Every structure is written in structure tokens, then in C-alpha cells.
């Protein structure tokens, strides 16, 4: 593990950093992890009910109010309030949004959570790792951003610019009721934005640290429906079994290449698809071979220039090639109803804010520049970037979360908290 260097700090910086301790982060993270669960679990599946983040929203709002921030709550749906805390600075000075989200992945199989005594929401420490649902995505990151702001305010730091803490609902479903609502309906805006999400990638033993994600990949959900001919199971000679035909597509979908122009920051995952659901056959018809099978795909790693039309066209061509000459088989492709196509974003130049301040502070604390990359997964950074804000992602947690026994590095989380605090001071300026 790479340890931080000890550069000279101002007296104010030393006092702020002394308030950021492992114990304080652990206490806050553990409280946030438990609160509002399991109702905060928000599946991407459009056909399932969304989360209700009200409990965690109220807790976070109360903490911001206790710090003296002007706090408002904004709901597009009942029981799903977005939280906005504002410390107003001087007119004309820079403004910064610090963002994280209040929903989590659902925990569907508790029997697999052996690291937390089979309770996914019981924050449990093993060595340097804290385990529980939401540790890495993103209650642990939320704790880091909150503790950074708390340390600054407790120490009496007064900013020249304006700090906004915007904690949103619905991020796991691409932000419709959260960041999109806050930007398009509430009118939230700022000069700069930092989302506290995992940005570490790779072998932590070899490259301990966090990247600066200056761009994001896009994604979408696609359905491929293969149609055949239904028959009684005793007459396979006259059937065209849709499930068997759809199976011919699976290895080709895994290997297919999507049409795209390589960008400067490609992300660690190239444009590709993952099969996430297969449906075939009807309840009550087990006597018959099915005449329809639907494959649901998550298309990820989307880069600038790729569109919904281009993605669908590529998959349609694959279907045509696979079933060429099979007159009794048809394949149709469409976007999953109720889902969104998320575009990839153009990168924020590394010499511009907030990259400049993040890079400078990271180098002071870590002794080297952070890696710069495109983040694969969706987060609210995309929505802020779409609104014309210089928005980036930076935070603890491995960018490739464990489905079960999710965890986060405690040491890395404390370091991220320190980086957030000094970056806020440098970016907004401090009144003396």
C-alpha cells in the first residue's frame, strides 16, 4: 500500500485535517449504511418498484442543518426527497456542488453475505475493509463527503465561494427523479461539481489510490426477441423452439464489437454487452415448446458518438447474420420499455477546474498525480456534465463493486475525506 507524504500544511489546514479521523469516518459510515435500508435499494429493472430513500434523506438533511447550512428538500415522487444544503459565498466567486446519492443496490441474496453475519446492512470491519451493502456505492463515500464538510465548518472555515451539498435519490436508475429533476426542474447549477463515487480500478496491491474520472461511459438496456414456431413437446419435428434458437445468439453477443470511434479516454471496459435476463415459455404451457424468447442486454462502455440507433442497428445486423436462411425464425430488437439511453460524456480538460485543484491536493497528500480516466459506470456526474457544468468523479471504493459482501478500504476513505476538504478550500477560497 502506498502511504501519503507529509507536506507542509498551514495552521488552518492542520486543524481541519486533525478533525478527519478513522474513528469519525467509521461511526458516520456505519450510521449511514444502516439508515433507511432495505428500502433504499433501487433496482435498475424498469419493471420493479423504485426505492424509497426518505429515511436516509431526512438523516442527511438533519446533519447538514446541524452544520448551519441552508437546507431544502425537493421531491419528484413521494418518499423520495433530494437534499440540498447551501453555504452561500460572495457573489461572483466560484461555486461548487459536492454530490453523492442516497439509494443503493438492492441486497437480494442475504445468505451470501458471510462477511456481515448474513445481514447485508450490518457494517462489519475485517482488517482495513468495511463490509456492508452501500459501503462502496455509496454510503462510505457519502460519509467521506459529509465528514469533509463537517471538519471544515467545525473549524470555522468561511468560504469565499459557494458550497452546495446535493445528495440525490434515484441514481441507480439513471437519475430521473434525482439529478435530472434537480437540474431541470429545481434549477440547480454551479461552476463546478465533484461526485463522491468509486474511481479506483485495477490491482489495489500494485496501484493504491484513486483516479480522477474526467468523463463517463454511457449505457442502455436492449431487448432481443427471437420468434419461432410453437408445438407440443411430443412433436419437436414441427417446432422451432425459440429458446434453442436464441441460444445461438448468446456466444455471438458476448464477442460482438459495436460500431464506434475510439476516444481519448476509452474506459476500462470497451463497448460491449452483457446478458442480464432471459425469458421464454409461458406459465401453464410447459406442454409446449415456446415460440418466443426475449434476451435482455445491458450495453455498457458506450463512448461519444454511439447512439441508441447505432446500438440497435449493430445488434439487428448480428441477428440477421445469425438467422440468415432460417425462414421460420425472426429476431426483433428494441430498447427496454421504461429505460433510458445514457450518453457518454466528453472529458473535462485536466487543466481546468475542478481537475486542477483535485490534482494539486492529491499530489500534496499522495506524492504523485492521480491517474486520469473515463469511469465506466453511471453516476450523477453525467447529468451535471450534460447541464454544462465542469463535473468530475473522484472517490474511494473499487470501481467494480462486489455483488455480495460489498466493501471499501477504510484507509482510502479517510484519505479521500482529507482530499475533499483541502480541495474545497483551494477551489472556493477561504476568507480570513
Q: What are the pLDDT digits (tens) for 233-271? A: 999 999 999 999 999 999 999 999 999 999 888 888 899
CA angle 292, 298, 303 (to 5 degrees): 135
Whether pLDDT at 416 is above 50: yes
Whether pLDDT at 202 is above 90: no
Q: pLDDT value at position 2?
A: 41
Alpha helix locations (H) across 250-289? 250-255
Strand partners, 170: none
Distance of alpha carbon 86 from alpha carbon 46, whole angstroms: 33
Nearest one of 280, 271, 326 to 301, comparing CA atoms: 271
Nearest one of 67, 102, 105 to 87, comparing CA atoms: 67
Q: Say if CB 92 and CB 85 are below 8 A apart.
A: no
pTM of the model: 0.94
| DSSP for 357-372, written as a single string | HHHHHHHHHHSSPPPE
Q: pLDDT value at position 6?
A: 59
Q: pLDDT value at position 400?
A: 66
Distance of alpha carbon 186 from alpha carbon 359, whole angstroms: 31
3-state secondary structure of 227: strand
Whether pLDDT at 69 is above 80: yes
**Average pLDDT score over residue span 5-17:** 85
Distance of alpha carbon 427 from alpha carbon 424, whole angstroms: 5
Amino acid at each position: 500500500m502506498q502511504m501519503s507524504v507529509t507536506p507542509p500544511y498551514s495552521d488552518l489546514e492542520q486543524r481541519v485535517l486533525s478533525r478527519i479521523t478513522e474513528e469519525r469516518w467509521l461511526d458516520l459510515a456505519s450510521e449511514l449504511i444502516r439508515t433507511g435500508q432495505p428500502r433504499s435499494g433501487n433496482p435498475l429493472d424498469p419493471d420493479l418498484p423504485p426505492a424509497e430513500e426518505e429515511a436516509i434523506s431526512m438523516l442527511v438533511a438533519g446533519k447538514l442543518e446541524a452544520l448551519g447550512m441552508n437546507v431544502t428538500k425537493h421531491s419528484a415522487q413521494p418518499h423520495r426527497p433530494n437534499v440540498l444544503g447551501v453555504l452561500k459565498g460572495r457573489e461572483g466567486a466560484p461555486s461548487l456542488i459536492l454530490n453523492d446519492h442516497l439509494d443503493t443496490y438492492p441486497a437480494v441474496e442475504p445468505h451470501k453475505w458471510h462477511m456481515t453475519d448474513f445481514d447485508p446492512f450490518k457494517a462489519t470491519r475485517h482488517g482495513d475493509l468495511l463490509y456492508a451493502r452501500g459501503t462502496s456505492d455509496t454510503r462510505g463515500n457519502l460519509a467521506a463527503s459529509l465528514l469533509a464538510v463537517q471538519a471544515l465548518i467545525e473549524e470555522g472555515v468561511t468560504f469565499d465561494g459557494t458550497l452546495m451539498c446535493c445528495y440525490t435519490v434515484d441514481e441507480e436508475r439513471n437519475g430521473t427523479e434525482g439529478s435530472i429533476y434537480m437540474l431541470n426542474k429545481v434549477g440547480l447549477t454551479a461552476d463546478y461539481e465533484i461526485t463522491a463515487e468509486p474511481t479506483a480500478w485495477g490491482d489495489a496491491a500494485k496501484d493504491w489510490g484513486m483516479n480522477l474520472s474526467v468523463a463517463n461511459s454511457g449505457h442502455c438496456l436492449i431487448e432481443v426477441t427471437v420468434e419461432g414456431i410453437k408445438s407440443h413437446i411430443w412433436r419437436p419435428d414441427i417446432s422451432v423452439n425459440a429458446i434453442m434458437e436464441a441460444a445461438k445468439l448468446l456466444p455471438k453477443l458476448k464477442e460482438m464489437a459495436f460500431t464506434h470511434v475510439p476516444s481519448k479516454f476509452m474506459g476500462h471496459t470497451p463497448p460491449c454487452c452483457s446478458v442480464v435476463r432471459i425469458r421464454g415459455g409461458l406459465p401453464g404451457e410447459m406442454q409446449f415448446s415456446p415460440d418466443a424468447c426475449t434476451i435482455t442486454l445491458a450495453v455498457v462502455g458506450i463512448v461519444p458518438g454511439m447512439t441508441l440507433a447505432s446500438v440497435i442497428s449493430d445488434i439487428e445486423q448480428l441477428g440477421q447474420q445469425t438467422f440468415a436462411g432460417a425462414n421460420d425464425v425472426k429476431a426483433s430488437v428494441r430498447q427496454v420499455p421504461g429505460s433510458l439511453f445514457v450518453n457518454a460524456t466528453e472529458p473535462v480538460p485536466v487543466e481546468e477546474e475542478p481537475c486542477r485543484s483535485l490534482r494539486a491536493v492529491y499530489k500534496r497528500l499522495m506524492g504523485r498525480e492521480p491517474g486520469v480516466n473515463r469511469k465506466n459506470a453511471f453516476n450523477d456526474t453525467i447529468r451535471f456534465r450534460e447541464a454544462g457544468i465542469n463535473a468530475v468523479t473522484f472517490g474511494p471504493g473499487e470501481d467494480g463493486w462486489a455483488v455480495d459482501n460489498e466493501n471499501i478500504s477504510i484507509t482510502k476513505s479517510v484519505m479521500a475525506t482529507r482530499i475533499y476538504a483541502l480541495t474545497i478550500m483551494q477551489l472556493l477560497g477561504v476568507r480570513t
